[in-house]
């Protein structure tokens, strides 16, 4: 996937955001949610897929309560490096305002994520600090008569019921063993 739209909107000489490049995904797919205090406060929900971050702007804070729905406006792909970005986008530039990392971790697709993303019905399990368990992103049917929908690709972010196997397991929460010291070479 191309980062053309992402780059076209930004002047990298003046914003601290990364220019980025599309790369190969790691074994575990990362996700990040950035709290972005732009003109309107929103939460940027990003899932790593095919070497970029698939992105949605969520105007209201996501809540991990079964059945909760949030509007999620699909936006352009962002580079993987963006997942580590926090800071202030300067006044007068695209998305001006403070960006904070609100949650991050990894995600597990339930089905074939590429096919589901294309179809507009993506189911997945989040392994984050704030958000965990089963979630879905579902594309809404566009309402051609509604001017609010013009040019928008509206999806819903939905908290789903957690299946037994998706519940965070206590064993996973155990801290990693202390690293063993290796002699400097």
17 vs 116, beta carbon nearer Mn ion: 17
- Least Å distance between CB 103 and Mn ion? 15
Chain residues in the site for Mn ion (CB under 5 A):
36, 44
- Least Å distance between CB 175 and Mn ion? 33
Please count the residues of the chain.
185
User: What is the widest separation between alpha-carbon atoms in the chain?
Assistant: 69
- Least Å distance between CB 30 and Mn ion? 17
Backbone angles phi, psi at 101, to 5 degrees: -80, 115
Residue nearest to Mn ion (CB): 36
Where helices occur in the chain by DSSP H, the ranges are: 4-8, 113-119, 170-173
Rounded distance between C-alpha atoms, residue 46 and residue 29, angstroms: 11
């Amino acid at each position: 996937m191309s980062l053309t739209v992402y780059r076209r909107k930004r002047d990298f000489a003046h914003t601290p955001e990364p220019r980025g490049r599309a790369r190969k995904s790691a074994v575990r797919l990362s996700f990040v949610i950035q709290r972005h205090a732009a003109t309107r406060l929103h939460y940027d929900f990003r899932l790593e897929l095919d070497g970029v971050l698939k992105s949605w702007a969520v105007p209201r804070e996501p809540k991990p309560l079964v059945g909760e729905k949030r509007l999620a406006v699909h936006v352009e792909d962002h580079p993987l490096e963006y997942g580590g970005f926090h800071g202030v986008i300067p006044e007068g530039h695209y998305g001006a305002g403070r960006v904070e990392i609100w949650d991050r971790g990894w995600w597990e697709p339930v089905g074939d994520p590429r096919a589901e993303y294309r179809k507009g019905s993506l189911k997945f399990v989040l392994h984050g600090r704030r958000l965990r368990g089963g979630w879905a992103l579902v594309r809404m049917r566009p309402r051609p008569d509604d001017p609010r929908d013009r040019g928008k690709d509206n999806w819903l972010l939905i908290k789903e019921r957690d299946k037994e196997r998706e519940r965070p397991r206590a064993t996973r929460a155990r801290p990693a063993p202390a690293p063993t010291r290796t002699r400097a070479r």
